[in-house]
Amino acid sequence: MSWVTFDVRTTRRAQLVDITERVADAVARAGIGEGLCHVFIPHTTAGVTINEGADPAVAADIASHLAELVPKEAAFQHEEGNSDSHIKTVLIGPSCEAPVRGGKLGLGTWQAIFLCEWDGPRSRRVEVAVMRLA
């Protein structure tokens, strides 16, 4: 198994950042032909997902519609002012997986991996584990 960690600096409160190339680099450096790539975000107000990366409007739509579903100004008990960010992270999740085939990240034609920032701007850590399948 190979572990790679890298940081991503976000620039807005809510933002989907395409991290596909950095994850693909981690997969290539792992030297594992066939396996699984696990991407984890160790934060409670940011997540990670796989979705369409060809049209940036998709990422914008995801962020704007989650803002409608979970508005920042709703009546929350958490006093820090970022409860909406925690809930959006629950909806998106802190991790995702993709296959490794032929030593490369095995995403579909239109797929990309996104760090989903809900409480930025911040510096976020991304952990990538590449595992060989038996």
Q: Which domains does the chain have, with CATH numbers?
A: 2-132 (2.60.120.460)
Which residue stretches of 1-134 are H helix?
Answer: 20-30, 56-69, 83-92
Percentages of the chain per state (helix, strand, coil), in multiples of 5? 25, 40, 35
pLDDT for 133 equals 87
Q: Which residues contact 127 (CB under 8 A, 6 or more apart)?
A: 3, 4, 5, 39, 40, 41, 42
Q: What is the pLDDT of residue 134?
A: 72
Collect all residues with Cβ–Cβ distance below 8 Å to 62 and sequence separation of at least 6: 16, 51, 116
Instruction: Give the pLDDT score at 58.
Output: 98
Q: What are phi and psi of 99, to 5 degrees?
A: -75, 155
Query: Nearest 5°: phi and psi at 75?
Result: -80, 100
One digit per residue, the tens of pLDDT, for the chain of length 134 reads 999 999 999 999 999 999 999 999 999 999 999 999 999 999 999 999 999 999 999 999 999 999 999 999 999 999 899 999 999 999 999 999 999 999 999 999 999 999 999 999 999 999 999 999 87
Question: Quick one: pLDDT at residue 70?
Answer: 97
What confidence score (pLDDT) does residue 63 get? 97
